[in-house]
Structure 1
Amino acid sequence: MKRNGDIIIIEDDPDDWEILLEAFGEVIDENKFKNRVLIFEDSTMVVDYLQESKSEIFMILSDVNMPRLNGFELRESIYKIPSLCKRCMPYIFLTTGITKEHVTKAFELPLHGFFEKPTSFSDYKKLISDIILYWKVCLAPQ
């Protein structure tokens, strides 16, 4: 895991993009982190990007409820590719409409976190800050 690598966000809702990009931007600026944030609206493009990109990835933050390829299917796709699995990229769900079934299914996968989208901007910033700071100090294979 590269602590200064890219943060990949997979989110199909443009309203949520704005909030996420603003919150990540503020957290990154306030903490002087060097991470770049990339957002994908179409989850089907993520696996190809990860396989083709030479960029280091710090973490992947994914919605669950997406058309075409949902967050569970995307996680399974990434995990089944040995070269991607070995890159040690934390995969975290950030979603709305959480059900007991979603949480159970999520933790049947190799997953690194499951969070409900906050309702206020300050709560978004706090959650994002906590997630980033945790992974900045967490030990992982390089």
Structure 2
Amino acid sequence: MNRNGEIINIEDDEEDRNVLEYVFEKLSYPNRRAYFKDGASALAYMNAPYAEPFLILSDIDHPYMDGADLDTQLITDIEIRRTGIPYLYLTNRANHELIIDAYGKLALGFFIKPNSPKELVSTLKAIMDYWLACAISS
């Protein structure tokens, strides 16, 4: 895991992407953010030789390849799995089955998007601080 790497955000809603970027700017973490509208484009990016993401924040619902499909693809990609990149859901949609399915695959976290930017600041700070402090083999 590259703690200085970029944060991959997979979110097809432009307003949600803008709010996420606003919150990350407010938090002032040095990590560059990369935004993708779907899992397929994020996967193509992660397979590029220059990509060294710190973590992945994925919505569940997006076109072409949704979060669950991307999660399944990443499970089978040995090179990406070896990097230890945390795959986390940050989504509006949650139910018991989605959460169980997510943790049964590669997901290391499942977070409900807060309704306010202030609450999102708190959630993203907790996520970032945890993974920055977490001991993980790279």
**Pairwise CA RMSD:** 1.0
1:66 paired with 2:59, answer: no
Gaps of 5+ in 1: none
1:3 — aligned with what?
3
1:19 — aligned with what?
19
Do the aligned partners of 2:114 and 2:120 also contact (CA within 8 Å) in 1? yes
1:54 paired with 2:50, answer: yes
1:43 paired with 2:21, answer: no
> Whole-Å Cα distance in 2 between the matches of residues 129 and 12 of structure 1?
22
Do the aligned partners of 2:9 and 2:57 also contact (CA within 8 Å) in 1? yes
Residues 75-95 of structure 1: CA deviation (Å, up to 9, x unaligned): 111121111111110000000
The runs of 4+ residues in structure 1 deviating greater than 2 Å are none
> Whole-Å Cα distance in 2 between the matches of residues 42 and 108 of structure 1?
21
Do the aligned partners of 2:3 and 2:132 also contact (CA within 8 Å) in 1? yes
> Whole-Å Cα distance in 2 between the matches of residues 35 and 77 of structure 1?
25
Taking only the aligned residue pairs, the percentage that are identical comes to 31
What's the TM-score once normalised by structure 2's chain length?
0.95
Residues 6-33 of structure 1: CA deviation (Å, up to 9, x unaligned): 0000000011001101001111x2xxx3
Report how many residues are paired: 138
Measure how far apart 1:131 and its partner are: 0.2
Aligned pairs for 1:105-116 (under 5 A) are 105-116=101-112
Measure how far apart 1:127 and its partner are: 0.4
> Whole-Å Cα distance in 2 between the matches of residues 77 and 20 of structure 1?
25
Q: Which moved more, 1:132-141 or 1:76-85?
A: 76-85
1:89 — aligned with what?
85
Out of 73, 92, 104, the position equivalent to 1:77 is 73
Residues 45-101 of structure 1: CA deviation (Å, up to 9, x unaligned): 111111114132110000001122110110111121111111110000000121111
